[in-house]
Amino acid sequence: MADLKDVKKVVLAYSGGLDTSIILKWLQSELRAEVVTFTADLGQGDELEPARKKAEMMGAKSVYVEDLREEFIRDFVFPMFRANALYEGVYLLGTSIARPLISKRLVEIAAEEGADAIAHGATGKGNDQVRFELSAYALNPDIRVIAPWRDWTLKSRTDLIEFAEKHQIPIPKDKRGEAPFSVDANMLHSSSEGKVLEDPAEEPPEDVYQRTLSPEAAPDEATIVEIEFEKGDPVALNGKSMSPATLFQALNDYGRDNGIGRIDLVENRFVGMKSRGVYETPGGTILIAAHRAIESITLDRGAAHLKDELMPRYAELIYNGFWFSPEREMLQAAIDHSQADVEGRVRLKLYKGNVIVIGRESKKSLYSDALVTFEDDRGAYDQKDAAGFIRLNALRLRTLAARKRG
């Protein structure tokens, strides 16, 4: 920790909760550093004013509380959904995509405040430390990053509680004992990990779920929604134009009510181990289905297949924390280029966990009745062309087969 001794001013990603409050105090007491707190509203659903007051009360030098919901959805979530990004086939990257934005503001505030370091509350075992720090270094090569969970000597819950008591940090009753699992949340998703979830052979208890009804508890009647897209992004819901965050929140509400977006997975962390998580992404689960549907009629096959091939890499980059990297930006340039004509309307039926596409239409549709019909197509397609198409595609296979026969 010797190398932290000369830190004078730190911008801390501060939630207002017990852990980051302890960090705040630790930075003040152990490093003798001034602390600036930064609390972002990314739609996690917590109230922010208590965090502001607590930070002020604990002697934060400056207190930043910001509503970043629109920026989060518009500049991070929507670009990612243009790619249909899924990590390991199932995870919609809800935690991963929030970290770069938080780091960006930490680094910007550090510059404004003349701070020489930033700090975060992620542990040394997870992906979030990597995402915070790679983002920060990519934006300011000289920034110092303090990750107290890797550095301090507090080893157990008991140590933490003792430290809190010693420093008069208020401890909510339910935080005295071990939490049964650990939660992260933003507008895109809630994730739960650890403790009762550590055995992947065991079904998660129902009380793990934070923001969705279970499919069983959802209504017996389906809900129909219509999403309108422009340039690959949703712009209106049921015919009503909305800002990105407003629209996304409405999708979340629909998803929650209809039991949509729960997954229970074992994923591979960038730091090398497997972990088990339970995620809820109600609006995102609706959105990815709708986006694929509007692409299905407006995106050319060549573009669509290239996107599908690039997607796993793109998702991996975001998962691993490389949002601010040249290769993610290159892939984004390719993806965004493909979205120019991805526009139109998708109708979906939401029913007890299911997202069912029931209609898509677009002025930019590439779907052609005339081409595809079993009926007379009046010359749109000459079936005899298929013979030549097949024969030339087969030519190399026939050459191989002739060799095999010898």
Crossing angle between the packed helical segments 301-320 and 128-139, to the nearest 10 degrees: 100
Q: In whole angstroms, how large is the CA radius of gyration of the chain?
A: 25
- Measured from the CB of residue 68, what is the shortest distance to a copy of itself in angstroms? 22
Is 21 within any annotated ligand binding site? yes
Looking up tokens 């009503």 gives: 240
CA distance 114 to 232: 39
Report the half-sphere exposure of 188 (CA within 13 A, side-chain side). Answer: 23
Clarify whether 128 is annotated catalytic: yes
CA distance 92 to 385: 42
Site for a copy of itself in 79-108 (CB under 8 A): 84, 88-90
Q: Of 61, 125, 167, 175, which lies in the binding site for a copy of itself, with binding defined by CB under 8 A?
A: 125
Please provide residue 108's backbone torsions phi and psi, each rounded to the nearest 5 degrees: -65, -45
Q: Which pair of structure tokens corresponds to residue 176?
A: 């005295």
Part of the chain binding a copy of itself (CB under 8 A), chosen from 40-48, 61-69, 94-102, 343-351: 343-351
47 binds a copy of itself (CB under 8 A): no
Site for a copy of itself in 374-393 (CB under 8 A): 374, 376, 381-393
In sequence order, the β-bridge partners of residue 348 are 225, 357
301 binds a copy of itself (CB under 8 A): yes
67 binds a copy of itself (CB under 8 A): no
Task: List the strands of the sheet with 117-119, edge to edge.
Answer: 62-67, 34-41, 9-13, 117-119, 144-146
Part of the chain binding a copy of itself (CB under 8 A), chosen from 98-106, 169-177, 183-191, 354-362: 354-362
- Measured from the CB of residue 347, what is the shortest distance to a copy of itself in angstroms? 8
- Measured from the CB of residue 24, what is the shortest distance to a copy of itself in angstroms? 20
* Integer angstrom CA distances of residue 72 from 98, 198, 221, 301: 7, 30, 33, 30
Is 348 within any annotated ligand binding site? no
Q: Of 67, 112, 159, 327, which lies in the binding site for a copy of itself, with binding defined by CB under 8 A?
A: 327
246 binds a copy of itself (CB under 8 A): no
Clarify whether 69 is annotated catalytic: no
Part of the chain binding a copy of itself (CB under 8 A), chosen from 26-34, 35-43, 120-128, 184-192: 120-128
Site for a copy of itself in 185-214 (CB under 8 A): 194-195, 198-203
DSSP string, 99-151: HHHHHHHHHHHHHHHT-SEEE----TTSSHHHHHHHHHHHH-TT-EEE-HHHH
CA distance 295 to 231: 10
Q: For a copy of itself, what does the binding mask look like between residues 358 and 377, x meaning CB under 8 A? A: xxxx--xxxxxx-xxxx-x-
Clarify whether 376 is annotated catalytic: no
Is 121 within any annotated ligand binding site? yes
DSSP string, 275-291: EEEEEE-HHHHHHHHHH
Is 182 within any annotated ligand binding site? yes
- Measured from the CB of residue 240, what is the shortest distance to a copy of itself in angstroms? 20
Q: Of 272, 280, 281, 378, which lies in the binding site for a copy of itself, with binding defined by CB under 8 A?
A: 272
Count of residues of this chain found to bind a copy of itself when the rule CB under 8 A is applied: 127
Q: Which pair of structure tokens corresponds to residue 101?
A: 């934005």
223 binds a copy of itself (CB under 8 A): no
Part of the chain binding a copy of itself (CB under 8 A), chosen from 18-26, 37-45, 69-77, 142-150: 142-150
- Measured from the CB of residue 103, what is the shortest distance to a copy of itself in angstroms? 12
330 binds a copy of itself (CB under 8 A): yes
Site for a copy of itself in 6-45 (CB under 8 A): none
DSSP 89: T
CA distance 385 to 364: 26
182 binds a copy of itself (CB under 8 A): yes
β-strand 62-67 against 34-41: which pairing, if any? Answer: parallel
In sequence order, the β-bridge partners of residue 87 are 91
In sequence order, the β-bridge partners of residue 91 are 87
Catalytic residue among 69, 99, 345, 360: 99
- Measured from the CB of residue 80, what is the shortest distance to a copy of itself in angstroms? 15
Is 303 within any annotated ligand binding site? no
CA distance 366 to 362: 9
H or E segment and range at residue 241: strand 240-241
Q: Of 155, 158, 206, 378, which lies in the binding site for a copy of itself, with binding defined by CB under 8 A?
A: 155
Catalytic residues: 19, 99, 128, 182
Binding site listing for L-citrulline: 91, 96, 127, 131, 182, 191, 267, 279
